Structures are given as C-alpha cells and as structure tokens.
Amino acid sequence: MNLPENYRAIMKELLEEDYPAWQDSFLAFPEHGIRINELKTDPESFRELWSAVNDVSLQGALSDPVEWIHNGFHIRDTAVFSCHPFYQAGLYYIQEPSAMTPAEVLPIENGDYVLDLCAAPGGKATELLAKLRGTGLLYANDISVSRAQALRKNIEMAGATNAYITAESPEKLAASFPCFFDKILVDGPCSGEGMFRRKPDMVRDWEEKGPYYYAPLQYEILEAAVRMLRPGGMMVYSTCTFSEIENEGNVGKLLKEHPDLEIRNVPEYPGFLKSRISGLEGCVRVMPHRMRGEGQFVCLIHKKVEAEMPEKERRKQVMPKLHAVEDRLYLLPPGHMPRAGIRYLMSGLHIGTFKSGILSPSQALAQAIRKEDWARTLNLKSTDDRLLRYLKGESIPYRDEEIVISDKSPAEIFGVPTTLEKGKKGKNRDQKKNGKRFDKSRAPHDTAGFENKLYAGDILILADGFPVGFGSDNRGILKNKRNPGWRSQ
C-alpha cells in the first residue's frame, strides 16, 4: 500500500522493532467478524444453529472465535451474513473484530445508566445493551440526525427495550445530564489509521486532515463526557487510529485537567500493545500484525470519589410507563422520562401505532419479543422460500396447521402499568373503545384493552424460531407488515 512517508516515519517511531511486521500486515486481507447478540442467543447456541442450516453456501463461512472477545467470531464473507435471515432477526451484528474491543472492556453492571456518546452506526451500543440484559438504560447519541436514524434501526433490530436515541452535541447533553451516567463509551471521530487496510481511501483523508485536526474535537467530546460521568463511574475512550496525538495526547491532558480521573487496566490479552508513554501503560492498542483485527486504541478511565460517599444508591424499582406521542405508543424504561429540550429519535420501545382504534404492533416490538410471547406465530425455516419473500416485502401463503397458538399476554411480557403518560409533543388523538370516545392520555386502555387491541389479527413470523416481523391474516395469506425500510433486496 502506498502510505505517506511522514506517516511511515511516525509508525516507525511508535512500533520500533515491530515496524516491519506491521508493514507486512498490509499484504494480508482485512479481517471481518460478527458479534453474537446475547439478548437473543449465546455464542455456542448460535454456532449450533448455524451448523444446522442445510445450505451448502454457508459451509465454512463462520470461522474461529475472536480470542479476546467473548461473543465474537471471525467470518470469511460478510455478504453471506448480511443477507441471511438470522441477521434480520437480530442474532448478530457484523463488526470488524478490533472494533468489538471498547464495549468488551467497559465493565457494565445490571442497572447501570450507560451513555454511548458517538454511537452510530450502533455496533458498540448494541453490545452495551446486551451487557445490560434489559436492566438500567442506555442513551445512544450521535450528533448527526441521519447517522442516528441508522443507529435506531440497528438498536431496534437488536431487540432493545431500554434505550433512548438522541441526536445532540456532547456539550448540550452534558448540560442536561451532569454526573448522571455510571458508564460512558466515547468512540471518537478520528484520523482512521486503523482502517487503511480495509478502506485505502482513508489515507487521503489523513493527508488532508490528520491527527492535528481531530485531536481538539476529541478532547471537547471527552470534556463533555467527564461532566456526565458520576463519581465512581467508568469511561472508555477509544479510536480506530494509532496516533499518539489523538490517543495518549488527549488522555494525558484529560488526567492533568481532572485529578479525580485515573487509568484502570483493561483485561489482559497477550496481543495487546501497551502504551510506551510512562504513566499511560494502561492504554492499549489492537495492531494488525499482533492480532486478527484492523486496529483500535482503548483506554479505561475511572472517576474517583473525592469525599466519602455511600455506595451507589439503588435506583427505585418502578413499573415501566406507557407513553403516547400522537398516535404512537411507547414503553419507557422504569424510572426515567425523556428530558425537555433534548432531541429524541427514540424513547424506549415503540409498541405500536393506533390506526382506526386498533393498535398495530411495530417492527421494533417484533424484534424485542420471543416466539412464546405472542398469540399466533408462523415458524419458517431460514431456507424456506416464503421467508425470503417475506423479508423482501412480499405477502406469503400459510396453512392453518402451521400456526402455533400461545396464551401469553402483553401484560405479562412488559409489566404494563395502569397509567398512561401523555407525550408533550403534539396532542394525542382520541381513539374509540367499545363505540365510545376516550382519551389515551388518561388511564390506559386498561391492561385488558391494551391486550385486545394489540393482538388484533396479526401473526408473528419467525426464522427458525426467532421473530422477524408481523403479517396481517387475510384468509390464508399473510399481508406483509415488515418495516418497509428494513426489507432486503
């Protein structure tokens, strides 16, 4: 690869005797991987599921586990995995192996309030959600609305029920959430040196901008993140570049400006390259000549408790709340309501949309539930032509004997409360119930009414047991209700 001479000189100084091996790494193919979504399955079960699929084209596509990632696999071909129904079911996220590292090393605990400050397109955010296991909450933010829309799709596909998606500047978030989050991930914009093998065009961006352009932007983001991190909390700063200016330079400055911050060691792995700078040895790099990844910098930072403080208070365990915004119904994570003045693209789980008095279940709901949770399901093999047609947006036939009946109710799934919050944006439309008008902002459709409306005629379609969307029953034909923006080509 034709790399700039000044960049080669920088890498020679950084790597010393490792430089020739790093240079030779550009002769190898880029690494690819998938990370298993543990909200839906586990690595061993997925391997068995994948092996059981009777499709010759899949043989050998799933390779070895990523050694330093507990739920990652190397793969041979991203195209196979991006087109497969299991991807549409949210069983995995396609992600370059070294990019899995930041979320892996951030020590998430049940009930944590977590922020992914530069979250698009969602690879790290979806892993943080899996580590929360449905507890606490995650704010996934990206300053770009268009990028945040892609982020929303990936978070909904993963089956999240406890996420908020925002599109704000870090500074504005910091003003609204001082000392609020237990854990924060800052995967900052960078010069992208760790992407040169996979995306050679990034070299031109490095020549035009480079580390001195990105370092001040990264530091502004880090300063905002520190303001939002509670005492005792932990933060990961990561980039996909090798530059000491962008990496250790920012970390060192942050520690100098904030004496209450300290570096914590990440879990040991033989391939990690530790920083050569004294006092910053806890910072590590994933390097392509030492590990099967393209490149990543990771630093784990702890915010010390200055004075004696009680252990983190146990947040009040309250019921989740139904929240209506115009004709859409959401289920919010327990104990937290959206903040005024913040641009939200998603708040909790979008359950459905009211249409002519009926609550039509959403695509997000389909992704968030299990097959046992729905009244009527149609389970199709991942190789069934009907499933592939459904994922493309077509209506499909079915036989009555293929439908499985369950008596599970939404009240049991979600713990639906007896009060319904009214959204502040726009007026909620009145709906009809039993021939009478009623206001959704008043106490609910009550639980029974909520169940009855939600079930109305829809069948949940499964890919080898995992939900991929709804279909409306029309005498042996399922009318496709999959989100149009999600349909495969």
Cross-strand pairs, 404? 377
Contacts 24+ apart (CB under 8 A), 470-478: 470/361, 470/363, 470/366, 471/378, 471/390, 471/395, 471/396, 473/376, 474/395, 476/397, 476/398, 476/399, 476/400, 477/395, 477/396, 477/397, 477/398, 478/378, 478/390, 478/395, 478/396, 478/397, 478/398
Structure tokens at 488: 């495969």
The answer to whether the bond into 310 is cis (omega within 30° of 0) is no
What is the total residue count of the chain? 489
CB 25 within 8 A of CB 289: yes
For residue 469, the surrounding DSSP H or E stretch is: strand 466-473
299 given a catalytic annotation: no
CB 238 within 8 A of CB 296: yes
- Beta-strand ranges (E) seen in 194-249 are 229-239
What three-state secondary structure class fits 105? helix
CB 200 within 8 A of CB 148: no
Structure tokens at 173: 């978030």
Catalytic residue among 83, 118, 179, 240: 240
Active site residues: 240
